[in-house]
Amino acid sequence: MIELVGISRRYGEVVALSDVSFTLGRGELLTVLGPNGSGKTTLLKILGALETPTDGEVLIDSVRVEGRNMDVLRRRATVVFQRTVLLRGSVRRNVEFGLRQLDLSGDEVDRRIDEVLELVGLEEIADRRARSLSGGEQQRLSLARALALDRELLLLDEPTANLDPESLAIVKEVISGLNRDRGTTVVMATHNLIQAEELSGRLILLIGGRIVEEGSPDTFFHTPSAEMRRFARSENIYAGDSLIVDGVAHIDIGGGVNVRATFSHEGRATIHIAPEDIIVSLGVLESSARNSLKGRIIGVEEMNSVVKLKVDVGRTFIAQITRRSLVEMGLNVGQEVYITFKASSVQAI
């Protein structure tokens, strides 16, 4: 369906993608796996014809996508970004808006709205204000808006990040169902190893804007390469004993630290928390997150526009924030802070 040949994308001196080449088959479910900043979102934008590559070419059905014919790809693809932007008005109005731009009858618009809202479990709150929804509900609404357009190619940027358990289950089922039952071609960018293994037909590992490995889930997870092992176990990996209390896993990782997670495994467990899923604050946050730990900054590593903090809470955690947040909060080594993350951000590996 789509072929990328020698794709590179630069933003000034920053190289987001470098010499990326692969083919995407019609009806395939491809996962682009990689850490934050590896170029995953940039790759999705190029696949959706929202950005043009600096070098290389994109082919769709063997026809080069460039200039005026970029609309050919845009009409066949839709992108769901991690950051949800909603319109004013109701849930139903948000789905309707995109459909009104198409040449559809009123009955067809209504049919599609009803179908996708039921698919993502929002049909009972169709008249509620969209901006009053929870984070997980908003992400499901964003997905519904894309599904209503009924495009051949669905591009998903971290679709399961920071979702509550109910929304996570629904989104996973929608993704697999679309691919399995409708034959929709899906490309999912994620750093989540569990979802990558569960949903993928094929995986690409993107590190530093380059493809370092490509293959099946069996290859990636059962006979992992050195690059895959390094990515999977790079930061915030802890082993401990898991106990299920009221449906929530409590994992004792030592140092007086007990982490809560949404998985149902008891006994010895190894867990991973992505640095970008951890919120750093100067005081206790009022939120639904089940994990809030007080600690002290013991290290600061600046990496272009992002900063990685080492925080000792009894065990050392790595948290990733923006340089702007570092300056605004006046953070430095030796300062007391709180780290907060959701139970759904804790992944068993």
Going by pLDDT thresholds of 50, 70 and 90, the confidence category of residue 36 is confident
Alpha carbon of residue 268 to chain centroid: 27
Q: What is the mean pLDDT of residues 21-36?
A: 92
pLDDT at 253: 92
CATH classification number, 237-343, choose in 2.40.50.140, 3.40.50.300, 2.60.40.10, 2.40.50.100: 2.40.50.100
Burial status of residue 333 (CB atoms within 10 A of its CB: 0-12, 13-18, 19 or more):
exposed
For residue 205, pLDDT over 80 is answered with yes
The answer to whether the pTM exceeds 0.85 is no
- Neighbouring CB atoms inside 10 A of 121's CB total 18
Going by pLDDT thresholds of 50, 70 and 90, the confidence category of residue 4 is very high
Percent of the chain with pLDDT over 90: 59
pLDDT at 303: 66
Q: What is the mean pLDDT of residues 200-218?
A: 91
Q: What angle do CA 116, 117, 123 make, to 5 degrees?
A: 150
Residue 7: partners with Cβ closer than 8 Å, 6 or more residues away? 17, 19, 20, 21, 43, 46, 53, 55, 56, 57, 58
- Neighbouring CB atoms inside 10 A of 127's CB total 10
Going by pLDDT thresholds of 50, 70 and 90, the confidence category of residue 349 is low
pLDDT at 147: 94
pLDDT at 143: 94
pLDDT at 305: 67
Going by pLDDT thresholds of 50, 70 and 90, the confidence category of residue 313 is very high
Q: What is the mean pLDDT of residues 24-44?
A: 91
Q: What is the mean pLDDT of residues 1-27?
A: 94
State the average pLDDT for the chain.
90
Ranges of each domain in the chain:
2-231, 237-343
pLDDT at 233: 61
> pLDDT digits over 51-104, tens only?
999 999 999 999 999 888 888 888 899 999 987 888 899 999 999 998 988 889
> How far is residue 278's CA from residue 49's CA, in Å, rounded to a whole number?
32
Q: What is the mean pLDDT of residues 117-144?
A: 92
Q: Into which CATH architecture does domain 2-231 fall?
A: 3-Layer(aba) Sandwich (3.40)
> pLDDT digits over 124-136, tens only?
999 999 999 988 8
Do residues 3 and 58 touch, judged by C-beta distance below 8 A? yes
Nearest CA-CA partner of 193 in 249, 245, 231: 231
> pLDDT digits over 222-270, tens only?
777 878 877 766 678 788 899 999 989 999 999 999 999 998 888 888 7
User: In this structure, what token pair is assigned to residue 202?
Assistant: 């094929």
